[in-house]
Chain A
C-alpha cells in the first residue's frame, strides 16, 4: 500500500490519488476496503486521463473529486458516495447506481445512469444517446440536451432534461417520469405528454434545486407512459 502514489493532504481527511502514478485497480481496492479504516472523508483523483472504471463499486459516505475526464463506467454501481467529475465522462457513467450522488461537470457519453436503481445523477452539459436507459429509480438531471432513445424502457425514477430531447424519447417507458424544458424531436412507443400536476411541480422543483439549475418547473412538460404496452397485444402491430 505504501507504494501507491497517494498522499494524505496535511491535517485533514482527504487522500490524493495520482492516476499517472497509481493504477485504477490499486486505487479502487483502496476505496473499497481502506477508506473507512483510515477514517477518510474525501478523495481527490488527479490525471484520470480518460481511464475506465474509476471509482467503481464505492460503498461509503465519501466525497470523491475526479480532476479531469473519465472513461467508461465511472462511478459504476455507486452506493452512498458523492462523486464529482470535473470534466467529461465516457459511456455509462454511474450505471446501476444504487444511492449517493454523481455529478458530471461536463458532457456525458452514451447510456448515462443506465439501469440506475437509486441516488441522483447530475450532468451539467449534454448527455448522449440512451441517457437513463432501463432506469429503475434513479433521479437524473441533465443541464443540456439528451440524445436519441433516452429513457428507453425506463422503469422508475425521474429524468429531467433542461435542453432538448432526441428521437424516440421514453420508448417503451414503464413508470418513470420525464420532464423536458426544450423541444422533443419525437416520442417513443407508448410515451405520451401529460399535464403537470402539483406533485410534478414539487418533485421537479426539488430536483432542479439539488442540481443547482435555476429553471422554473412551469417551463417543463411531462412525458410518461400511456401504459398501452403493459400487456402483450397482437393488435399493437409490433409497436413495442
Chain B
C-alpha cells in the first residue's frame, strides 16, 4: 500500500488548483454557455402534500384539469391566451441557428404556447412558424425595428437575465456569419458585445415612459412584459409593476446563457426558488397578484418544477436550457434525414469535452447543430425533428403538471397553492417561505 498522502484540501481542492493554474498560464477568465453548475437550493427541495383524508384528490386520468393560461390582462387590448403555462424562453438567432428558431416556433404553435425572440432581432422563419411570438427589446437593440414590434404578439423589455444580471451579452466572432452580422449591423467575425444598459432610458421613471412609448407604438393592443434577472427581486418587481408591465418575467440564477463569464454564471444573482417567492410577495404587497401575471424561469426542468412554480404563485414558466436538451444538446448522437442516430462524440472530443458535460455553446461548434451558425453543423438539427422533440418534452411536462395538480385536488393548474407545498431543508424553507416538512416553522418568518 502506498504511503502517499492523498488528503485533498477543501478550500484549495483539485478544481480550484486547476482554475488557478489555468488563470496563471493564460491570464484569461473562462467563458462558457448554459447555466450554473454548482449546487443551489432548488425546486427539488420542495415537496407536494397531495390529497388524502383531509384533502380530496381528483381522478388522475379522467377528471378535467385545465391548463389554459392568460397573460397580459392589465392594459393590453389583446392578452395572450396559451393552452399550457409553459413557454419557450428568449434565445437569440445568432446563438441558435435559423433551423432551431424555426423548430421552436413550430413546436410552440402546435402546443398552443408562445416562443420568444432573443438578442439579434426577429427572423422571418421564426415569425412565420410561431403563432404567438414574444419580441424582446434588449439593451443592444440589435435588429430591433418598429415593423417587427407591430408584427409581435407581445413585447418583452429585457432588463436582465438570470445567468448574468447586470451583465451584457457576448457573441464571439466565430458565430457571426454574414447574415447574423447584417441583422446586427456589425462587421462579420467580430466579437459582439451586447450592452448591459438600455441606450434610451436609465432609471425606473424613464422605464415607465419607455413602456408607454412601446404601448403608443402598438396602440395599446399587445401585452408588455418586463424581464428581470433575479437579484433584488422584491424591489425590482415592484418597479416593473409601477412602470406599467402587464407581465413580469423573473429569471433566476439557474437560467442559461449562450456565452458568459463563468464567474458571472456561478456567483451573481439569486436562485429561482428565492426569486419566485420574492416576486409573489411584491405583487401581493401591491395588491397586483392576478392583475399582473408572473412568469418564472431559470432552471425549470420537469413538470414537478412547473407545478412548484405555479403553487408558489407564478402564472407560467419559461424554459430555455430544457428546450436545448430536448433538441439534443449534450446527446451523443444527432438524427439525420433518414431518422438514423449519427454519433457525434468526435465533435465533442474536438471541443475537449464529451456528451453530458458540454457547455461550449460560445464556440459555435455545437456537435449536434443547436447553437451554431456553421453551415454543415447546423444541418444536424432538422427543424421537423427538433419541433417534434420539443413538443414531446412540453407534453410530458404538462402531463406531469396535471398529474400533480389532480393529486392535490385541483381542476385547474392555477389553483395549486403554497399550502400544497412543504420544504425539505431549512434553507429552502426560509427562501421559499414554506414550512419545513413536519413542522409549522418558516425560518426567518415564524417562531419555532
A binding-site residues for B, Cβ under 8 Å: 24-25, 28-29, 32-33, 52-53, 56-57, 59, 71-73, 76-77, 79, 91-92, 95-96, 98, 111, 114-115, 117, 130, 133-134, 136-137, 152-153, 155-156, 172, 174-175, 230-232, 234-235, 240
Supposing A96-B141, A136-B141 touch, asked if A91 and B186 sit within 8 A by C-beta, the answer is no
B binding-site residues for A, Cβ under 8 Å: 26-28, 140-141, 144-146, 149-150, 170, 172-173, 184-187, 190-191, 193, 195, 199-201, 206, 209-210, 212-213, 216-220
Query: Pick the contact of B216 from A53, A98, A111, A134 — CB < 8 Å?
Result: A53
Closest 5 A/B residue pairs (Cβ)? A57-B217, A92-B200, A114-B199, A77-B146, A115-B141
Query: Do most interface residues of chain A lie in helix, strand or loop, or is the interface mixed?
Result: loop
8 A-B pairs with CB atoms under 8 Å apart are A57-B150, A92-B201, A96-B144, A111-B201, A155-B184, A155-B185, A230-B191, A231-B191
Question: Considering the chains assembled together, what is the distance between the CA atoms of A53 and B217 in angstroms?
Answer: 9
Asked whether, in the complex, the Cβ of B27 is within 8 Å of the Cβ of A234, the reply is yes
CB-nearest residue of chain A to B220 = A25
A residues in contact with B191, CB < 8 Å: 230-232
Asked whether, in the complex, the Cβ of B209 is within 8 Å of the Cβ of A175, the reply is no
Supposing A98-B146, A115-B200, A230-B191 touch, asked if A25 and B185 sit within 8 A by C-beta, the answer is no
Asked whether, in the complex, the Cβ of B195 is within 8 Å of the Cβ of A174, the reply is no
A residues in contact with B144, CB < 8 Å: 96, 115
Asked whether, in the complex, the Cβ of A172 is within 8 Å of the Cβ of B200, the reply is no
Supposing A117-B145, A156-B185 touch, asked if A32 and B212 sit within 8 A by C-beta, the answer is no
Question: Considering the chains assembled together, what is the distance between the CA atoms of A55 and B275 in angstroms?
Answer: 38
Asked whether, in the complex, the Cβ of B172 is within 8 Å of the Cβ of A96, the reply is no
Question: Considering the chains assembled together, what is the distance between the CA atoms of A72 and B201 in angstroms?
Answer: 9
CB-nearest residue of chain B to A77 = B146
Most chain A CB inside 10 Å of its own CB: which residue of B141, B191, B200, B218 = B200
Query: Pick the contact of B200 from A52, A73, A240 — CB < 8 Å?
Result: A73
Asked whether, in the complex, the Cβ of A25 is within 8 Å of the Cβ of B145, the reply is no
Most chain A CB inside 10 Å of its own CB: which residue of B186, B206, B209, B213 = B213
Give the Cβ gap from B152 to chain A, nearest Cβ, in Å: 13
Query: Pick the contact of B206 from A24, A56, A91, A152 — CB < 8 Å?
Result: A91
